[in-house]
Structure formats: structure tokens, C-alpha cells
Amino acid sequence: MKFLLFPASLVNPVHPVKIFLQFAHLNHLRSFNMLEIDFTDIDWLLIRQALSLALLKNRPVHILRGRAFLERNPEYLPLFDDIAAAVSSIGAGMLFPRNESIVFEPHKAQSGIYRLESAPFSSSVEILLFLMPALFYNKVRSILYQRGVTHSVLSYPTGFVKEFLLKALEQLGFYASLTLRRFGFYGSGGGALESRIYPQEAKRAPIFSGIPCAISGATIYISRLGMELALEEKRLIAEFTGLRQDRISIMDVQDSDGCGNSIQVYIDLGGIHLILFREVRIYNEKGDRAFNKDNVPAILSGLSAEVNTLILDRLLPEHIIRELYPYIIFSGADLPHKIEAPPVIRTGKLCELILG
């Protein structure tokens, strides 16, 4: 990773011993103000949101059982390592495991132009989502150039962020752009993203609740797995959802470092397109090939069930509500529906704990 801006110590040189003593004194004072985050049913999204909100508020946090979660779920270790590396690269503090916990002692994330990378079994999108809240509250635009995994089984595809999340955030006064320069699939990486995050503007608008919605189309992205598989996926999507096959497109991705398969269904939410998706696992976190075409029908059946539930109930999936929740709090808009779901309640309690 490479940080493009010069640290203040290079612009205004200070004796290194004096810097060390000031830093040690600051950390000693901050340790007394460390916020303890204790959730029994912790998951990766809660960990990432806790770190993101702590960076926004410049508040040291101690996430109990955070490291234990990572050890039980080793596929998330590369995400944590990449976020910790990003924190170090942009000079935003120190993030490290301690015993069974995770400790984050943040410094203010400054506006700037950053070049960041993600490992082949990680996600560039997760790094972006971690940094966005803090960068939104700066006075100057920030630009992120990222290389690595753009379509990860552990996160959202770039299309979800660009076409849905960022457009939903615009309604709440948060403006950003995302451009996919090159596909990078889980297990091989090599992709490229460019994003721009602008200062937040005061704005309050209603967020999705009881909205009319309908399937508007689907796209199958496939790389180095054969067109036969893509055609079978197209047939299954049409069968499971009732979507006409002429509304389902296939994109043969040839400019990528490895195999990949991303299936995305577009739901029209009154002008904004929500993307429900499945990233087909080609490799496991150890790098062993894990793809089995016999699993594809079950994968698409699960995706179709999620699509049909959304259309019938007109309620956003829990993980999407959780992703939007902090921004709704920031803007003062009405809270989302389905707040009785335990994972959403935990995200709400986290926001209350850190944001006050």
C-alpha cells in the first residue's frame, strides 16, 4: 500500500524522541477513554461498522471477542488485515488484535488521494465501506485508487455499491462515485476501482419502506468458466423468478486475472435499482479450488427466494438495512423498517453506543 500525502512530521520536522513521548502520552490518555464493545452474537459486519464509526468519531474502541470471531471464521482474517494495513497506510491510528479482542486507537482520517490494495482473498469494497463515513465528514474530497478483489464472496459486488448504495446515500446527503476499472475476482485479485468521496451535505429524505418493487433484469458475469455454465444459470434464473430470458444478459469477462462468476438481479425500487446477488465461490480461503457446478441450482434457488421475498413483503433484506442504518442516524431520517430483527437491533445498539 502507498500513501500519497506527506505526513505532517515531514513538512514540519520535529525531534523523533519528542514525537515518541508525545505519542505515548496521547495513547496513555486515550486508553482511559476506550469504549468497550461487547456483543455475544458478533459478526463481521458489526466489527467493520464498529471500526468505521470509531474512526469517524476518533474514539478508541475495544471489541470484545473480535479476534475470537476471526479465529473461528478465518476467511475474514484477510479483510481485517487489509483494513489494518489501510489504517496504517493513511495514518489513521493503530488497529491490532489483543488476546481474544480487537483494539482500535484511531486518529482522524484526513482527506487525500490514497492508493490501497487488497489481498486475493479479501475485498476492496470492504476497505471502501470502512473508510467512507469518516471521509464524508471531511471538508475536502478524497480519492481512492484501489487494486485487488472487486467481486468477493465476502462482500458486495461493485455494482451493488455503485447502483444502489451510493444512490440511496445521495437521498441522505452523502455523495460519492465508484468506477470499476478492471474486474478482480476472489482468489485471484488484480482488479481496479476508483472512488471519490465528497463532503456530506445536510439533507433529510425518507428511506425505503413499503415501496413498490419489481424485477427489472439480471446479469451473469462469468470469467474462464465456460459459456455453458452461464447459459444454464440464465435458464435457472428465468425458471425460479419468472423473468423472461431476454431480460437476462451474460457478460463474458475476459480482462481478469482468474476465474469468477457473479450473478446479479436488479430490483426497481421506484427509480433506484437494488441489486441482489450471489458471488459463486471458486476458491476457498486456503486457495484450493472449491467450485462445484452441481451447487449452482441451490445457489440460484436461494437468490431467487431472496428476490421473491423482497417483492412480496416490500422489505429490504436485513444486511442492507444494517448497511444503511448509520447513515440514516447521521441524517436524522426516519429509522428503517424491520428493526425487530436481532442483527438490525445489534447494529442500532452499536450506533447508539458510539455515536451517542
Q: How far apart are the first and last CA of the chain?
A: 34
Q: Note the pLDDT tens digit of each residue in 185-220.
A: 999 999 999 999 999 998 766 666 566 789 999 999
Q: Which three cell numbers stand for residue 342?
A: 436481532
Per-residue confidence (pLDDT) for residue 4, from 0 to 100:
37
Domain ranges across the chain = 2-206, 214-313
pLDDT range class, residue 24, cuts 50, 70, 90: very low
Cβ neighbours of residue 208 closer than 8 Å, sequence gap 6 or more:
168, 269, 316, 336
3-21 average pLDDT score: 35
How many Å apart are CA 1 and CA 22, to the nearest integer?
A: 27
Domain 214-313, CATH homologous superfamily name and number:
RNA 3'-terminal phosphate cyclase, insert domain (3.30.360.20)
- Model confidence over 90-102: pLDDT tens digits? 999 999 999 999 9
Cβ atoms of residues 71 and 65 within 8 Å: no
- Across 198-259, the runs of DSSP E, i.e. the strands, are 214-223, 248-252
Beta 248-252 vs 214-223: how paired, if at all? parallel
The per-residue pLDDT for range 234-264, each reduced to its tens digit, is 999 999 999 999 999 999 999 999 999 999 9
pLDDT score of 277 more than 90: yes
CATH 3.40.309.10 describes domain 2-206: no
Same fold, 2-206 and 214-313: no
Query: What percentage of the chain exceeds 70 in pLDDT?
Result: 88
Bridge partners of residue 219, in order along the sequence: 249, 264
Q: Which long-range contacts (CB under 8 A, 24 or more apart) does 341-344 make?
A: 342/41, 343/41, 343/43, 343/45, 343/318, 343/319, 344/318
pLDDT single digits (tens) 38-88: 999 999 999 999 999 999 999 999 999 999 999 999 999 999 999 999 999
